[in-house]
Structure formats: C-alpha cells, structure tokens
Amino acid sequence: MRILKTLFFSSILILGACQDPATETTNNGTSSDTTAAEQISRPTSPKSQGDSLDAVIATEPNNIEALTLRGSLRLRFNDPNGALLDFQRVAAIDSMHAPMLLHLGELKMLRNQSREARNAWTNCALADPEAIDCRINLAKLHASIQNYEPALKYLNELIEIDEYYAPAYLFKGIVVRDAKRDTTLALQYFQKATEVEPKYVEALDLMAVTLASRKDTLAKYYYQRIIDIEPKNAEAWYKLGVHYMDIDEINRAIEAYTQATIIDPNQSDAYYNLGYIFTVMVPDYKEALKYYSASLKAKPDNNYKAHYGRGYAYEMLGDVQKAEKEYRKTLALLPIHKPAKDGLERIRR
C-alpha cells in the first residue's frame, strides 16, 4: 500500500488577492497614488473611502490617480464592471499609467483573459522600469504555461531592481526546478528567499518539501521553522508526519499526525496515515480501525482508501462480514482497486 503524500505546488498560482487600495504602494514602497491620497482623509471603511474618491473625481474628472484608486477598490470589493469603467477612463487620458495597468491585468486574470492580462502587465513593465508587481505577475504567468525564458527574464529584472525581494528568488527557484529539473540549484534560490525573508513560509515550505523528496533529514528543520511561525498550521504538521514516516521515525510521525488532527479535525489524510502505521508498521488493528473510521468521518465521500483500510483491519480481526462490506464499498468507488479485489478473494477462500 502506498503511503499518501501531499502533492505540493505542481502548478503556479497566477493571481493572489488584490491589494488593499487603501495601502496600495509602488514597487519601491512609496505610495503610487500620493496626490489622490493627499486629497482624501483616509476613511476607515471601503464605503466611506469610495465616497471620498467619488467626491474627488466629481471635482477632478481627469484625476487618474483617484480613478485608479477607485477602480482598484471596486475590483477588490467585487465590482469588476465598475473597475473596468474607471480603468478605461484612465486609459483614455494616459494609456501607459502603470498602476492602472497593474490592476487592469488583475481584472483580466479574474475574467480568465490571460492574454489581455499579459499585455497590460507588459505595458506596465515598459512604462515603469521598477514595476515589481507587474513583473512578478508576468513571471508567474509565463511560468504557468511553461514559457520559462521570459519568466526568468522578468525574475532577473526583479532581482536587479531589488536584491532583497524574496519572491523573485522563490519563483526563480521554481522555474529552475521545472525548466531544468535542477533541484539542487532550485534549493539555492529557495534558501536565498528564506535568508532575505526569514519568515517567508512559502519558501520554507518549498525548502522542506524539496529536501523531504530526497529523504534529507534537514527537511524537518524547515517544517519546524514553519511551525514556530505558525503553530496552528495543520498542513505543516501533516507534512512533517509524512517526512518522519518516510525516514522511519514512526513515533515522531504519530506525534506529528496527531497534532495535525488536533488542530484540524478534518485532516482525513493524517487519520488515514495513522491507520496505515497501525496496520503495517506497528500492527494494532483495533487502533488502525479507529483511525480509518476517523478518516471517513472527516471525509465521507470518495474515501476509498479508508474503506479499504477498514476492510483489511476487520479481516485481520476476524470479522469477515464487515471486511467484505468495506471491500465492496472500496470497489464501488474505485472498481480497479486490486487490493480490495484480493481481499474479497481471500474471504471467499
């Protein structure tokens, strides 16, 4: 039986949450809408901020900073049509206004118009030699379609703009890993990202996952760093358990999986792996049955592995009727599941 493992980061997410327009910054950390901001007394709610922007735009209809800020606010609070109208008004005045192009690209990605997003971000990068957000979005977009050369180009530009910009090293490591299949070099970039930003959980996770794939015991150090930063990170505890199980530190694996289930009772995979441990590594079929049942409670639908685990535990405990029932449930969910077929055959004999 194969131990369940977590597949991590096989595809790159293109777009995160839109920036809060109240704290929107340019790439060197200064306000990108300073003029508009000076005219608006930073309201405490999105509605009051929107009202203040409306007032500014009513008196200055060509204020591209206020229009861009209001468009980004509308985009963040689920008014893409209103945002597009604001961005179109800005484009009619200055089609190469970099902050507008950044948010226009985000809007196009939300509408699954990746080519238009790429065009907006490309123009943004042309308009602003230090446009970090546009370049990182372009790098992610190109990498997601395996267009690695331009992705590396934008990542290298980012590092030249700001050598302490940790995401550039993180995504360069991802591109190197995927394009060149060079995990050793990728690890160097992941490590650099953690040096630049010691609490960069995504980089720490990639370090840990990559090392764990090599069964390198250093992986647990990086998982532990994540847990130190986010003690309630159930997924980190689960991955730590997988790593301990892979390197045959079974007691620590049990502790890590148990902690994952305490933090998140819906961690069905952690329950399943505990059941596997008590089936194969430390045989205790009553204990295994308890964990397989917990896995099914956490994930009742399409959990064929837990049904099979319960069937095997029942069989080992001599309850062939319940074993047969669980094997049949397994095959109903996955008809080609050979271990369940073998289990039924053993029961028949």
The pLDDT of residue 49 is 80
The pLDDT of residue 44 is 52
The pLDDT of residue 151 is 97
111, 39, 40, 42: which is closest to 75 by C-alpha?
A: 111
Residues of the chain with confidence (pLDDT) below 50: 1-41, 43
Answer yes or no: is 204 within a domain: no
Residue 315 CA to chain centroid, in angstroms?
Answer: 40
Query: Terminal CA-to-CA distance of the chain, rounded, Å?
Result: 22
Answer yes or no: is 201 within a domain: no
Give the amino acid at 156: N
The pLDDT of residue 349 is 84
Answer yes or no: is 80 within a domain: yes
The pLDDT of residue 4 is 33
In which domain, by residue range, is 294 found? 286-349
Q: What is the per-residue pLDDT across 140-167, written as a single tens digit (0 to 9) for each?
A: 999 999 999 999 999 999 999 999 999 9
The pLDDT of residue 322 is 97
Rounded to two decimals, the pTM is: 0.79
Answer yes or no: is 61 within a domain: yes
Number of structural domains the chain divides into: 2
Last residue of a domain, one of 77, 105, 128: 128
List residues bridging with 25 in a β-sheet: 31
Answer yes or no: is 232 within a domain: no
